[in-house]
Structure 1
């Protein structure tokens, strides 16, 4: 009987210790030599004009998700079109370090998504080209993109 009781207690302690480990590990920002990492993606990959697109940013530092960045924004503009230029705050999701923005491009063209992230006392920004529809990308890129970033960088 004592063996059975000890066996039950052992199994119960294992189960309880596993359940108590539900806290997610997040970046502490202590390693100042490691940069913040930002992964930008969007879905669907092949975008049609008028179609809803979801941009997703995954933020991490030292291979751990960043729980509380100071700033996360996405700047979107069309190549050479100063009238189509927006700076949008992105929404935090239920998953730590993951942010999204839903967007709809009105017409075919070459656009840019430029993320701006401040976290762990570092700033990171990078521009990605987004093709909508089936434009003549080569011809469009021959014209200089005169749109300046709202953050003073291009």
Structure 2
């Protein structure tokens, strides 16, 4: 009887840990637009000019591209996002959403219209959103710091 109780307890702990850990290690991103998009992260907040563009797009485009009207797991942190936020220089992770076709056609030489959205996310923001983001931003993202602001269109 004791062995059975111990096994049941171990199973409950393992199952509960796996579900909980998945939320802390992966960000899911929903592309609710007719455009294919490219999503990348940068932890150098508040400096929005110095992110490592070529490293992200040139070698890793398949990892962070999301087809129109689909959902993908786009950002992973092996040690989890709580640990990640403890290591970054500020308390903010920037997530950039780019027009993938414009990037493929023009590279990083294109003007700023290739940037569709930028989210400035605290750990609390990610937790409240259940580690799920979307473009365009969903209603439950309206309080997240973003450019353009919630409900506004990107500059053309």
Same fold (TM over 0.5): no
Q: Indicate the structure (1 or 2) with the bigger Cα radius of gyration.
A: 1
- TM-score where L is the length of structure 2: 0.30
- TM-score where L is the length of structure 1: 0.30
More helix by share: 2
More strand by share: 1
